[in-house]
Amino acid sequence: MAKQSDHIVSLFSGAGGFSYGFTSVGLKPLFGAELNKHACHTYEDNIGSPCHNVDLSSVSPGYFKKLLGGAQPFAIIGGPPCQGFSTAGPRNADDPRNRLIFNYLRIVDEVRPRWFIFENVEGLLTSGRGKDVSALIQMFLEIGYSVRLEKVNLAGYGVPQTRKRVLIIGNRLNADFSFPEEKFSYDSGKAKKLSGKPFAPTLMDAIAGLGGAVKKRAEIATYSTSVPLNPYDAAMRDGNLTLEVTEHTDTTFAQDAHRYRFLKPGQSMKDLPEELWHDSFKRRAFRRVMDGTPTEKRGGAPSGIKRLHGNLQSLTITSAASREFIHPLADRPLTRRECARLQSFPDWYRFHGAAANVAQQIGNAVPPLAAAEFARHLRNLDGVFGSDLKSPSFHASPRLLGYVLTDATGMSDALKVTESLLHDLMQSELLFA
C-alpha cells in the first residue's frame, strides 16, 4: 500500500499565485511544474521550493510519482492554460491547449492525491457544447474521485477584482463537502453581488500607498507614505523589508495620455471621438461591416481601453490589463505592480522575465488571497490536520456531489446544454450508487 504524505504538488504553477496562497497558510508545495522558464524562476524565487521546467502536455505522469518517492500527496493544485476556453480572446474548441485539462487528470490518476483543486476560466463550461467539462467530471469519477464543480467569483473571497473562475474540487475519500463560504459582496460595474456582507476592497483601496510610478523599469519606486493607508495596503506591504516597489512603471506616450484624458470612469475607446481611436480599434470596429455581416449580428467592437472605477472592485485582471485598463485618476494604464496588487500578490513578490512576460504571469495567476481561503478549507475538510468543521459524511462510491454553473437568474442556451449533461451524469451516479 502506498504511503500517505502531507505534501502539496503544484501543476501549471505559473508565477506561483496558487502556491503562495497555500504557502501562506502553512501548506507549502513540495515542488511546482511549469513550462515557462521565466515563470519557473519567479516561482522558485518567491515560493522557495523547486519548479520543474517541464512540458506537462508530454511529460510522463510517472515523473511526478518518482519525485514523490511513491508517496501519495495531500493535494494537487493547478490550473491548466485556458486560452482555448477564454472569453477574453478567440475561442477555439480545437486548441491543443484544451487537452491539458486531461493531462492534469492523468497526473492525478497516477499520483493519487487525497484531494485536488482544478482551476480554469468560465469558458470551460461551454467548451465543446459542454462535452469537455462533463467528460472531465466523468473521468474523475472513473478514477475514484468524488467531485464538486462551481463557478465562483473570487471577489467573494476578498480579492479586489471580479474574477469568475471554474473550480473543480475532488477527493478519493468519498467525503461529501461544500465550497468555503463567500465573505464579501462586490461590484465592478459589470459583475455584482450584494449579499449583505462587507464589500471586498475597492480598486483604489488595493493600490493605495504605492506612490508615483517611475519611467524606467530599472528604477525603483517608493511608497507615497511611511505608514499604510488601509488594511489592504498594510497586507501588501507586509514583509517588504526593502520598502522598494518594483514593476511600478509608467511609459505612457504623450499622445496616449491625451487620449486617456477624455475618458471618464467606465468609458472605453468607443466613447471617444473617432479621431482619437487607435488604428487597431478602427479596424476591429469596422471589420464586421467590411465582411458584410448584417447590422443586427455585428455586436460591439472590443473595448480597446477602459478607464476603471476607483470606488468599485476592478474588472478581471488579464495579461492585457497593464495596456488596456486605465487608472481611475491618472492618465495612464495600470502598472504591472498595481495589477499584481489587484491579484493580491504582496509587494515583496519579484517577477522575472521581460515586461510582457511578467504581465502574462500576473494576469494568468490564481490570486493568492483566494487560494489561501481554499487551502484553509481543504486542510479543515481533510481532518488529518485537525478541524473545527463538522465531520463530513461519506459515500460508498465516487459521485458528482453537486455543481453551480451560474448565480444569475437566467442561463444561456449553451450553459443549459452543459447543465443537462451534468444533471444526467449526477442522476446516473445516484442510480447506480
Q: Is residue 418 over pLDDT 70?
A: yes
**Sequence-ordered list of residues with C-beta below 8 angstroms from that of 190, at least 6 positions apart, any chain:** 162, 315
pLDDT tens per residue, range 155-170: 999 999 999 999 999 9
User: pLDDT averaged over the chain?
Assistant: 89
Is 357:36 a contact under the CB 8 Å cutoff? yes
- pLDDT score of 388: 52
Name which residue leads in pLDDT, 274 or 266.
266
Confidence category of residue 142, pLDDT binned at 50, 70, 90: very high
Nearest-CA neighbor of 206 among 301, 339, 60, 393? 339
Rounded Cα–Cα distance for residues 298 and 288 (Å): 6
CA 75 to chain centre: 18
Number of alpha helices (DSSP H) and beta strands (DSSP E) in the chain = 14, 14
- Can you give the pLDDT at residue 279? 76
Joined together, the cell numbers standing for residue 155 give 471577489
Q: What pTM value is reported for the model?
A: 0.91
Q: What is the pLDDT of residue 287?
A: 60
pLDDT (average), residues 218-236: 96
Selecting among 40, 51, 82, 339, the annotated active-site residue is 82
Neighbour count for residue 66 (Cβ, 10 Å):
9
Bridge-partner residues for 221, per DSSP? 245
DSSP result, 161-218:
B--EEEEEEEETT-B---PPPP--BEE-SSSEE--SSPBPPPHHHHHTT--PPBSSTT
Name the least confident of 41-50, 277-286, 342-351: 277-286
Q: How many CB atoms lie within 10 A of CB 249?
A: 20
Q: Which pLDDT belongs to residue 419?
A: 95
Whether residue 245 has pLDDT greater than 60: yes
For range 222-248, the mean pLDDT: 97
- 5 pLDDT band, cuts 50/70/90, is confident
Helix ranges (H only) for 48-99 are 62-67
The predicted pLDDT at position 61 comes to 81
Told to judge if 82 belongs to the known catalytic residues of this protein, a careful annotator would answer yes
- pLDDT tens digits along 75-132: 999 999 855 444 444 444 444 445 789 999 999 999 999 999 999 999 999 999 999 9
Q: What mean pLDDT is predicted for residues 324-351? A: 98
In order of their start, the domains of the chain are 8-191+368-431 (3.40.50.150), 203-364 (3.90.120.10)
C-alpha cell recorded at residue 79: 490550473
199-228 burial by CB neighbour count: b if 16+ within 10 A, else e? Answer: bbbbbbbbbbbbeebbeeeeeebebeeeeb
- Vertex 52: Cα angle to 50 and 55 (nearest 5): 160
| Per-residue pLDDT reduced to its tens digit, 270-324 | 999 888 887 777 777 666 555 555 544 444 445 689 999 999 999 999 999 999 9
Residue 133 above 60 pLDDT? yes
Mention every residue, 6+ apart, whose C-beta is less than 8 A from residue 77.
Answer: 8, 9, 10, 11, 18, 19, 22, 29, 116, 117, 119, 371
Evaluate if residue 385 carries a pLDDT over 90: no
Q: Which residue has the higher pLDDT, 298 or 418?
A: 418
Half-sphere exposure of 239 (CA within 13 A, CB side): 10
Highest mean pLDDT, choosing among 263-277, 344-358, 383-397, 410-424: 344-358
Whether residue 68 has pLDDT greater than 70: yes
